[in-house]
Amino acid sequence: MIEWIIILLLSFFLGIVLLLYILQEKKIESRAREIFENWRMAERVDLEEWKRGELERLSDEKARVLFGSWRVHEEVVIRNDAVKRSQSVIRGKVTEHLLPFFPDFPYNPKDARFLGSPIDLVIFDGLSEGILREIVFVEIKAGKKSSLSWSEREVRSCVQEKRIGYSLIHNASQKED
């Protein structure tokens, strides 16, 4: 009988130890799962941060490359535009100088005097023939922009309003020999 009691007590203790073992195993398993999930979340966050950083780096690099190619292209466009404008200005200046010698120029080229600014030419119509008929201010426009500048409009306004004068200035500092 005592053997049965000892067996029963041993079985009872063995049951308690087994129960404690199972409970401890569940706690350990739960803790291991929790640690694993935390690690997985941390890895996921790290991976997302790496992806975000890599995406940002790649987009920055692509933006730099695109900006560089755009800048090179725009520099070429600007240089070509500057060359065209320069050529246009030179053509305009040459035209202003040569226009009096064109066949359809309405005045005698000998009567034309080039000023350049603010008016291109002053025509002393008839002066070469000895009979001055009129003095004409001429502004030559050859380019696409054919509007007058502010100073050209001011000269035109003075001429139209007959605000024109004549001065004779003697240089008193020069001694006559």
- 37 located within any domain: yes
Do the domain assignments include residue 56? Answer: yes
177, part of any domain? no
Same domain, 49 and 119: no
Asked if 97 and 110 sit in the same domain, the reply is: no
Q: Is residue 175 scored above 70 in pLDDT?
A: no
139 and 78 share one domain: no
Does 65 share its domain with 145?
A: no
- 31-64 CB burial, b ≥16 within 10 A, e <16: eeeeeeeeeeeeeeeeeeeeeeeeeeeeeeeeee
Please report whether residue 45 resides in a domain: yes
Residues 111, 129: one domain?
Answer: yes
User: Do residue 16 and residue 85 come from a single domain?
Assistant: yes
The C-alpha atoms of residue 167 and residue 135 are separated, in whole angstroms, by 15
Residue 166 belongs to some domain of the structure = no
Whether the bond into 100 is cis, omega within 30 of 0: no
Could you report the per-residue pLDDT of 6-34, keeping only the tens digit for each?
Answer: 888 888 888 999 999 999 999 999 999 99
Q: Is residue 175 part of a domain?
A: no
Is residue 125 in a domain? yes
> Residue 69's pLDDT is what?
96
Give how many domains the chain has, as a whole number: 2
Over residues 130-145, the mean pLDDT reads 86
Question: Dihedral of CA 25/28/32/38: which sign?
Answer: positive
pLDDT for res 121: 93
168 is a domain residue? no
pTM of the model: 0.54
Find the domain containing 140 and state its range.
106-160
Boundary residue ending a domain (70, 101, 132): 101
Same domain, yes or no, for 41 and 80? yes
Residue 173 clears pLDDT 80, i.e. is over it: no
Looking at the fold, whether 54 and 119 belong to one and the same domain comes out as no
